[in-house]
Structure 1
Amino acid sequence: MSKITKITKITKITKIAKIDNFGIFQNFDWNTHLSSNPAQQNQTYDFKDINIFYGRNYSGKTSLSKIIRALETKTLSPKYDNPDFKIELSNGSIISQSNLSTFSHPIHVYNSDFIKENLRFIHDENANIESFSVTLGGDNQQILNRIQELKNELGSDEENTRSGVYLNIYNKNNEIKNVTENHSSKKRNLDKLLSDKATRGLESIKDNHERFGEIRYDKRNLEADISKVLSNNYQQLTRTQIELFESIIQQRELSAPPELLPYTLNFSSLINSTSQILKTVVGGSQKIEELVQDSELNLWVQKGHLLHKDRSNCAFCTSEITEQRQKELRQHFDQETQLLQDRIADGIEKIKTLLESQSLKISFDINHFYQKHHGTLAELKVNLHKTIDLQKLSLEQIIKLLEQKNRQPFTELDAEYPVDHSDQIKAILEKISAIRNECIQLNSNLKTQQNEAKNALRLDHIYHFLQSINYTQLTSDIKLTSQAITPLQEELDALETRKISITAEIKSKEDKLKSEGEACRHINEILQHDFGHQHLSLEPIETTSTNSQSIKFEIQRLKNGIKTKAHNLSEGECSLISFCYFLAKVQESLNSGQEPIIWIDDPICSLDSNHIFFIYSLINEKICLQGKYSQLFISTHNLDFLKYLKRLNTRVIRNDKNKELQVSKYLISREETFSQIYQMPKYLSEYSTEFNYLFKQIYTCAITNILTDENYSIFYNFSNNARKFIEIYSFFKFPTYYKYDDDRLKTFWNDEIYRLFIGRVNNEYSHCSGVLERGMSLMEVPEMHQVAKAIIQKVKKDTQQYTALLESLNIDIANDPLSISSPTTG
């Protein structure tokens, strides 16, 4: 045997992450069902060095083994509709039904498919015995058939006769070439459009640099601008914005606009002085009452008095003006009155002067400002003139108030003063001043603003260009053609990998063509162990055909000292032969340092207890004691075998160091029409007795009140489970011989009502004994629940045993709901 270099990078199976569709498994998620500690996220109960599965028949053990065997055979049976699963490896990679060929670590799976493919004669005696061959053996027909099968798959690489993998590689290369050329053509077309727009022709951005601002513009600049235009922040320019930017580009630098005349009118001061005048009252006892009462008459007499200052006769009627009348008029129009009227006259004159002042003649020429401000300035100018006119009206209203006071000097006037528009005028002037300052600032920033305007117009131009060539669709087409290359390249890589794999396997198979006797010796060495089957052996038989001689194999049975071809092999013999063959087959992989993964599915079918232990011994000796595997998986439906598996050797020497291998245990449970995988409960993983299991079923019924789709099987199986549990438990309690079981139950219950009631439930629901219609109706859940509680309460009388049973279910008695209140059971 040639020495194979030891694999340094060991691949392990971490978990079967998902089984969405495979056999009886549907929508199974490892992380959901195998969380090792719900309080810790991302912590799951994953595969270890040794992994043990327990599950009843038809629970899904073989389905799991077929998923794993697909890693070995690189194929799945077409009988599975839409298989869908994911296997997570220790290197983080995922293996699914679509990439089985990428799994390269040595793996060996023993299950029913292995037996059918390698030992077909076991199921069909008419099948040619040459079908039974081993990879340990030499020049046998199965290896030759496999080599020819591989060569057929590889095919020919001759130009006119290409076939198989070589033809697929040739066709895939052509596909890649066509898709690549299509991608390149689309990319070239887009590149030409972009190059033309950037630098070529009268419509290019480079030739319109006065408007777009880039005389050295090229395709790289255009691609950078395209990324800006395609960003979510970009907004297309409006017609107004375009006109504004174009005006900025054409703008020439202006001188600073003239300063505006200042607005100095103090309207509030006028209001205060006017208010004082209006509140001033002149008069006294020497006033002429008639004139006091009539302001118009008073004003007329006052003018007349001034005109007749040096006259003694009335100029109007020529009547004499007596000295007394003159005295009365002088007293009426005294100095106080004159002072008030002078104040009124001064106030009116001041206001009239203000109406002609520069503060109310402020104006400006918008042509002194940059064009972009003309629209705003025109509006401000109109508003300014309107507001100044309103302020003039307010001043004229003050004049009217003073004139009214002049006519009524003897009366305090209450007036509604006009609105002061000074704040509005000042606000408008501030806006105009701000624009003036902006224009002054623009003189120094005009070049910058023109560059910004050109950039904005260029991006807007590019935006419309992209719309015109349907740029988004073009780039999408290019991306799609590029994406089409990747899967084709991956398929080509897979084909190349497959070609290499086939070539390597052909060489490996050819290297394994050795003597037939060596193969038989390995298998017989295991099969004919003292505790195995000394009467069966594998023997090479030489046959002669027309053109050549070949070696076939047959199973022979030793009978009366003579070996003859074995017929009518029992199921146990078939199981024993098959497993011995498997062990012999994997020895080469173990001894060569490949450290394979080994999966063994229920190898003890139809074997008696001695041979069940023999199978365990073989696994422990040939696989576990040597410790040359990377992972070991074993499944079983047999509780005795499960008990033995707990003794498997876990102490090995690896890399010259002692190592304790880790063990994980799992329960495969069928729930209606689908199965799930769970961490094996303590009562199975640590105790593995039917007694613990039966107690768990009864305890579950005792704490469950409602029948659901998830727990109905517990209630439907309750009668069988309860009957078996009571028989075991009562026998432990009273091992004395009783002729009838009822006598033992009477002693056990010590209560006739309990014995009869529970016995009826156990018998009728278990056997429909004496009540045929029982099998035609549904069960009574409350009745099952009450019986379960009664049994539990009976067991609780032995506190230590009850506590131990709870511990085997991983339940603390402090959290036991049945310990809160307990009915008397008698």
Structure 2
Amino acid sequence: MITGIGKIKGLGVYQNYTKPAGTQNFVSKNLIYGWNYSGKTTLSRLFAQLESKTSNPDLNGCEFSFETADQTINEKNFQQCELTVRVFNSDFIRQNIHFEGGGFNPILILGKDSEEAEKKIEKLNTRIGRSTATQKIINSKFDALKAEIARAKTSAAENIRQVLKVTPYDARHLGNDVSIVGVLDSQTLSDEDLAYNFELAVTPDSKKPSTVEQVFGKPSIEALYNEASNALAATPSFSNTIKHLEDNPAIERWVENGLHIHPAAGTCEFCGNEVTQARLEIFRAHFSKDLADHKNSVEALLSKIQASEFTLVLPNEAQFNNQYRDAYRNAAEPLPHAIKCFNQAVNTLAKDIQSKIENLRKPLVPSVLAPGLAETITKAILAVNAVIKSNNELAENFTKAKAEAHQKVKNHYIQQFIDKQETSGLERKKDCQIKRSERLKAYSTHLQLLINKLQALISHAQRGREKINDRLASMLGNTAVQINVVTDAAGQERFQLVRKNGHIAKNLSDGERTAIAFSYFIIKLQELSPEKFKDSVVYIDDPISSLDGNHIYQITSAINEIFFHKIQNAQGSEIWITKCKQLFISTHSFEFFNLLRELKPDGGNHARLYLINRINDDCSSFGNMPKSLSSYGSEYHFLFEKIYRFHETEDKANIELLMHTKCSPAFR
């Protein structure tokens, strides 16, 4: 067992490291925390020399010493080291795995050669052969259905091409359109809509419709009727009237018309008798100013009513586009009768007012007014103008409207084709054959997987591939990247990274590379016999590079599974122990570090915590982890301690304290 590192000189950031006094000895589990560039990977390379028993050119010229219970291992005698060491670091990844498609050394795990497995493989291959033969029959039926559907497409495309004058338009174009129309709601048009859109779609540009002036008119009779009702009911009060004239309106009018001929007393122009001044005053009193004003008011109302007769000039039907002529005809149809009824009501009201003029002193009641006369005309005008607006919009947007109509008609015929195919069931039959073929393919794939598993019992490399693929699926949460066994030109089995689709896996993400490399390392440890692994020293340097939080937990779980297990002690209690002789894990992630602290063997002397501390640009130290880090779940207590020490010290140029504030991720 390695108990400590005595010294490191002339190696990277370890220019003159000597084990500090009081540094605890290494035990079965050793966690090393240090920020990036503090020297963790450099330390792992020293352990790797103990594994390879060969000099690393990058470490030439350095001095080091590992302390063990029996001897000191240094740069002079490490090749005779009898320890079994396994190291995972960036050098291991680079030397063992090819991430750009090349083959690399397989993991050889002993399998069980079995005649029974060979027999099972033979039977499974026979089933696969039968499945392949059935697939050929299904594919033949599929091809026949496909040809029949193709003929139907060709016929439907030809019909669309001829009807809508679309060139070019063939089965390929129809197939593209079917995939678009098929996901929409039904595009089938009613007979009326189809006729309308078809006529518009084939209308030549030379027959583009013109715009039509809108119709304006606002008939009104209700207000006049109310005014006339008041005028007819009015009976002015007069104090000096001649009863004979009141009772004889014709004589009254005759006298009124003749008054201006006799402005003064004299001879009557009619009878020749003398007309006295007194008689004239009596007549003038009868025809008072109030009566004259009342008469003038009623006569003015008569003129107003006579002027309210409604006339309307409608556009000629020929001015409209063909698509809107029927709609215009239907909208305008009520107008002639409605206008006639309205004007008859006006004439009736005028006659009532004329009667009042002829008998001003008599209260009258107007004829009953039919309801909705003006409203009927107004609604009809609105309907006519709505048609005119649609017609004008078509005229103003003729090119766009024509294109939309063309598309609607085409979609209608495409929908007809889709519905016809649905009715014929050809597509369903074709899909059924596809599903049968896919089921057989899946069945063959399943059989092949069984064959692969049986082969894994026979092939050492296949068994290693199976285990690392299981580990990869656990690490990545999917099977997007897997390992296949391939045979190289020399007939040797090799590992190769492939994607789920079977293509060689290239351009892997950093997270995928990390997961693949660590999975490979973990499974490769199984090449060691259980007895050999139990006596091994394992060093793992930062196995979580570029992995997110979820994968950090998976890495932790994998480490717990591989390196720790429960046993019963002499007292019959279950305790956790380390499966290998010693485990070293270094990391820059405090989150990962905290998770690893929980995976400790039972007993206070089986786990140690260490800190690699960057003292200056050229120097790092390795020693016990301070309580400000080991006693808390966050590195901020440690950083606060350093800041406080920096505050208290008089030497503000203390390079060690300055390096902490420079290197810590918390200050970035």
TM range (shorter): 0.3 to 0.5
RCO greater where, 1 or 2, for CA within 8 Å and sep 6 or more?
A: 2
